[in-house]
Structure 1
Amino acid sequence: MTTLPDEAGAPAHIAHIIAGLSQGGAENALYRLVSVQPDPSKHLVFSLTDEGIFGPRLRALGVEVHCLGLRRGAIPSPLALLRLVRGLRQARPALVQTWMYHADLLGGVAARAAGIPVCWGIRHSDLSAQHNKWSTRLTAKACARLSRWIPTMAVSCSARAADVHRALGYKVPFEIVHNGLDVTAWRPQPSWRATVRSELGIGPEEFVLAHAGRSDPQKDHPTLAEAFARVHALRPQTRLLICGKGLARGDAYFDALPFTPRARMAVLALGPRDDLPRLWQAADAFTLSSALGEAFPNVVAEAMSCGLPCVVTDVGDAADIVGDTGRVVPPSDPAALAAAMLELCNMPPPERLQLGAAARHRVLEHFTLARMAAGFGRVWNDVMAGGKT
């Protein structure tokens, strides 16, 4: 794990308020950010719900974790707000950093009531009624109304997400701080390739496309299934390695995806896994099929850091993450996704490896934990100084 120099981290006590600490992009980003601070014990975390999987991990770093025990999706009571205000007054942090809408709203009001400056965290790029709960949209709109008075700054993990919220009416200065990766964990390990392939039953000459994403409409797995079926019809020695909740054989979600019978037999559906850096050593390329909702898709940068060229849909900041090291196609277009996949399949191996090396180099330049922590540190210092970045 990378350790940052003192000047890159926060110089004072920081309180983080987040909706929960279960597995998720924001939760993971919070954990990674705190883990590389010079002194993680200078950070404390308030979870509006429970400690999830990241609570114990944060405590292992020396971070104080408090859980309010609110029911997910429930409207917070005034008592919960008072408990949070009391907790902040007792902790007396120099700044409050909130993560996601419910924490932005409840944590922002509590921080202001406690007389502590607050920085909001924006991590969502789709607020359509079709793909969001009414409570999420209502909370985001309430935050827009209050954004002129509560936060000093808002940190967004993507430019697209910041634009969406400005259009919604957010009247707060935005700073873009991309998510950062532990590039020592996510790295090419060529010596693992044969072993992992053997474990998974992948032949040495088979081309493997990797994908990770939970069972969610925003991930648009039907488009992925249709695209892979097209690829497999033309390149029978192609395999699809997919991981994530709902993506295992026998899961109703996976079983309903529109693979052709032959293409389905070529899919390695592993479900949730915590060893993706190892699994990706067996892959030749990575694909993101999302139709909407992505802000900064971590899975793309993680795959790139492992030296995999990526085919992504043009959602959130995916195109900016990939740059010229991969291929970008319109969302919800199986033909375009299949064509881009086939381009990588048919690319000479040395050329494809060179593209993968360029992908990792791009991550090292732009998406490291050090850059993420330094970005948050600059914003926090400015907020505590009473200024705007």
Structure 2
Amino acid sequence: MLYLDYAATTPPYDEVIDAVAEVMKQHYGNPSSLHRMGVVAEQLVSQARAVIASSLSCQPVEIRFTSGGTESNNWAIQATARRFRQRGNHLITTAVEHASVYETFRELERQGFRVTYLPVDATGAVKLEELDKALSDDTILVSIMAVNNEIGRIQPISAIGELLRQRSRTIVFHVDAVQAIGKVPLHPGKLKIDLLSCSAHKLRGPKGSGFLYVRKGLELPPLMYGGGQEGGLRSGTENVPSLVGMAKAIRMAVEEQDRFHAHTHLLRKQLAAAIRDIPELRLSGSDAEGEMAPHIVHFCFPGMKSEVLVHALEEADIYVSSRSACSSSANKPSRVLKAMGFDDARAISGIRVSYSLSQTIDDINYFGEQLQKAVARLKHTITGQPNQRR
């Protein structure tokens, strides 16, 4: 079995599984309880917060726990819009955001906010001049992802942060970093990020846990009301085992980030070469060094629906994705690929391959062989598709 869908979810580290199990068995007290078991649980929560903050070079008070990326994105965007509506009514995002960001902005439009969806170029990148042009006196929020979850394009987050600070000190900058943390260097304070979202299960942590980085001094309204946990911003009894597991996963991922990058960069080069050798396929994104995340490769098989190739590879016990796991069942052209200027034939045929330190060059070579066989079996079903190299 060859699992190549790490951008959808990842197998937890063994150390994470052990840590979660130990806390569930030994430290099941409620962190809000005053007795010793509660105090121990609260100490574990505080320790988890400190470990994550250290990994991101920020302060523990800036880490707010959530159930994952979708909740973090929703909280960041909706809370900012409500909190600063008296300043302005204009929000900016991109046409290629994850559904948890894109659909949140669509809802805010229905509530009367004015939203600008920045276009991207054929590689999936936002242009700084387009953002600069879109900014206005009533802009209160800019939300742009660090790494695109579908094609792996890295956005110029550092340059965007600098531009926003030059234009206005009051514009809130949110970054969906779900596909970035542990893969590419990302320290919110250095990059002038105000809000940053993370999900543990994308970096070998437990599902159902995540966090929102909230820059110290930025006040947001509560997400949920109740017992006053998370500084009164997100009430509810903390999931201590998952928080401990998430902290361990993030620490391990950040510690091995350099090794991860070097290894997956080699895998990416090998995989891209294998895809280029198959005339029917088209690589997505940029060929320039450093513009694509090393752990994601995306390509299209124009004229062939992506799920057909997904299932053809599954017959060889190889598991890839057609797009974001949150929308992979949608039988329609990819919104991200359409925003990049692709026609329907290409936008409905995208395949995402994602991997980690666990995969080898031999795995990638095997995938390339099986991909070539699958394409050869399927290409006769396509009519009128030119058979030429990219």
Fold shared per TM-score above 0.5: no
Higher relative contact order (CA closer than 8 Å, sequence separation 6+):
2
